[in-house]
Structure 1
């Protein structure tokens, strides 16, 4: 079986014109692992297989028909994540890895989150979070600042699977850990980045008015935009506030915050700042999100953006995928189910695990099937893959 998996990996990689080094980098796994898999001398575990599949833009079952999917393993890992933060304010065991290794592993985990590689997070996230908390409890002086950032990054990585897989109570607890850790720091940018993540709680509860007010208050006490990092964290928070304001039905506030983000992005290179992607391209992605969040009367703006531009590799895979899911909804609302389906297929190419767990994607593929009234093989296959049938 390992040999057949390796052959499928190699065939997909060549079809996408990727080198083995390209695939290793995109999948966040070692080059020897890729080479060994393709030669059939190594067999990837479930999380590694999913990481490789995500980098190739296919579901893992296309590489290994025996693969049972990510969801079961993620749900099995949620109790371990919960246990890791049960006594987060207490100093318990020492960290199980040296600081240099902890830094590297958390950097890798941030990459998994941005690439929507949830299987890897489920496998490694609980222990990583426990070690980050242990380091914060043992740190002192200048090391406390770094320790707080590591805890926020580790908790945010774990939160990615909690939030995406519907464990919203656990997600809220992880955000409390982030807020607590940021409070141990004197870094206002870190608190601003945590306020960005906290918006998930309001989005999950559909408490949009409360979320809008909370994010406005976070912006009021945010850092002065006098460094690239502070401009990026503020800009990202303005983007998130724009979406929440749009969900609350306040078009004026939504577009005002989007314009603030656009102004800040003029002086910020596209990149990742304290774990959040920000820059001019991200603002365009959020222009689509705001338009769709405001509803049918605003979708023309989303479609105008999509006609002129689409995100490239300067944007993380999960956010590229989200862009196409948003455009698919706009296309569906405008009466173009064929174009909507094309967008959902494009979204799947960028982050299959993200699409599979996205409620809009599942809902919209069901609507497209009903509108088409034809049992097209590709449409039915997509619906079965995303569990919409």
Structure 2
């Protein structure tokens, strides 16, 4: 049995056929840190442990049995994020972080968000957001548009932890910051991106009809796309509107928006555009989400997709995880608890922290345990890990 965390990291890394360099790159951790941890010279801190665990596709407690999760560290930093945006529209003292460094640090944080590295985000979000706001207030001329984009990206990164960990009021305030910042620029793509994120507010409040109207209004204001980026941001907004329309029970509208996004994705490379993943694979993932959101007669469509296709490693971990959570929901709805559990296990491999905070995953694992007469040890262990028991 492994005696220290480093040996567990090395064993798991070798099992996944990863080199130390592979692990360092996937975890956004330096190669010397990985080497020192595996040799037992250094012990990773909570955020580093979370990053390594996510890259290896396991919960951090598998590497360190004493680990208690990210929830405590995330909730501890939420007041600091809230304080940072209290006077977001006021010009405060200039930041000491150069614009180039801020741009790079924000890009790194966006990568953490897409990889569901919530512990790393929580640690950096308040300072990153404060510096981004300061730069926007001091920007002028052509620099305003770039500074506004950085504020949107920083606020969206902070919103990832607020929204995922249930601080929905704070999430809504962060989205207000994004809307304010986007309005400072003349970039319609940035406004479309913010409208995409704003859908979270309607999903959290379950005001799907209002959300559909608001998103449709945002779509009406987007000019015809003439670049790859504008095509992708419009397509992503249609994609998100399709899900909200489905939650509102408007099947025709949902599939119409989905078809619009599919058309816009044709010939477009799958990629990250203004912090949002879009392309043919992302549209297919949202086809599953739309079908599951509509429920009943539409569930079969989600299962048909999952039988022949699943997202590959080119899709961000959080979105891959979300796909398997949606398919698990469909399997459970169809009376297949064993298959549903297999899907939740697969989801955990891609983004453990995302699964752990997802309400559907926690709800569904509880249902699976009730449906099975004699819960397997692995099912009970999973339920304990996710907090369903």
TM-score (norm 2): 0.98
- Indicate the residue corresponding to 2:103 in structure 1: 103
Deviations 1:85-130 (A, max 9, x none): 0010111122131111111110110000000010001111111100
- Indicate the residue corresponding to 2:221 in structure 1: 221
**How far does residue 267 in structure 1 lie from its aligned partner after superposition?**
2.8
C-alpha distance in 1 between matches for 2:220 and 2:286: 21
**How far does residue 3 in structure 1 lie from its aligned partner after superposition?**
7.4
Gaps of 5+ in 2: none
- Indicate the residue corresponding to 2:136 in structure 1: 136
Change (3 A) 1:183 1:3: farther
Deviations 1:339-363 (A, max 9, x none): 0000000000000000000000000
1:236 matched to 2:236: yes
- Indicate the residue corresponding to 2:388 in structure 1: 388
- Indicate the residue corresponding to 1:362 in structure 2: 362
C-alpha distance in 2 between matches for 1:277 and 1:252: 25
Q: What pairs with 1:132-211 in structure 2 (closer than 5 Å)?
A: 132-211=132-211
C-alpha distance in 2 between matches for 1:14 and 1:205: 44
C-alpha distance in 2 between matches for 1:18 and 1:364: 32
C-alpha distance in 2 between matches for 1:51 and 1:173: 27
C-alpha distance in 1 between matches for 2:261 and 2:268: 10
- Indicate the residue corresponding to 2:255 in structure 1: 255
Does the residue aligned with 2:4 lie in a helix, a strand or coil?
A: helix
C-alpha distance in 1 between matches for 2:170 and 2:269: 34
- Indicate the residue corresponding to 1:116 in structure 2: 116
1:301 matched to 2:301: yes
- Indicate the residue corresponding to 2:342 in structure 1: 342
Superposition CA RMSD, Å = 1.0
- Indicate the residue corresponding to 2:48 in structure 1: 48
- Indicate the residue corresponding to 1:288 in structure 2: 288
- Indicate the residue corresponding to 2:374 in structure 1: 374
C-alpha distance in 1 between matches for 2:181 and 2:217: 19
C-alpha distance in 1 between matches for 2:107 and 2:20: 22
C-alpha distance in 2 between matches for 1:149 and 1:33: 32
C-alpha distance in 2 between matches for 1:375 and 1:178: 45
Q: What pairs with 1:87-102 in structure 2 (closer than 5 Å)?
A: 87-102=87-102
- Indicate the residue corresponding to 2:77 in structure 1: 77
C-alpha distance in 1 between matches for 2:76 and 2:93: 23
CA contact (8 A) 1:324 1:347 kept: yes
Deviations 1:260-314 (A, max 9, x none): 0000000321000000000000000000000000012100000000001000011
TM-score (norm 1): 0.98
- Indicate the residue corresponding to 1:86 in structure 2: 86
CA contact (8 A) 1:148 1:181 kept: yes
Runs of 4+ aligned structure 1 residues displaced above 3 Å come to none
